[in-house]
Amino acid sequence: MGTVVLIALGVLCFVTGPALTLVIVLAVRKSARDVAASNPGLVRYGDRTPAVASGRHRR
């Protein structure tokens, strides 16, 4: 998934130019932050991850 995003970002940068790509990326990130802030029921992954006391994983 990360590779696809990087390729898409590279194509976008090549077609539109670096400055416009930066503006688009920052606008999308701001929009995503606004949506996350407006939805208090949304829990981030770090908040859901339990802390392991011993540092070892159980199977």
The confidence score (pLDDT) of residue 24 equals: 85
Q: Is 43 inside any structural domain?
A: no
Per-residue pLDDT of the chain (59 residues; tens, 9 = 90+): 678 888 888 888 888 888 888 888 888 888 888 887 777 666 566 555 556 656 565 55
Q: Is 23 inside any structural domain?
A: yes
Give the domain extent around 23.
Answer: 2-37
Q: Is 25 inside any structural domain?
A: yes
**Quick check: 6 and 12 in contact, CB under 8 A?**
no
Total number of domains in the chain: 1
| Cβ within 8 Å of residue 16, ≥6 positions away | 24
Q: Is 11 inside any structural domain?
A: yes
Which structure tokens are listed for 7?
């390729």
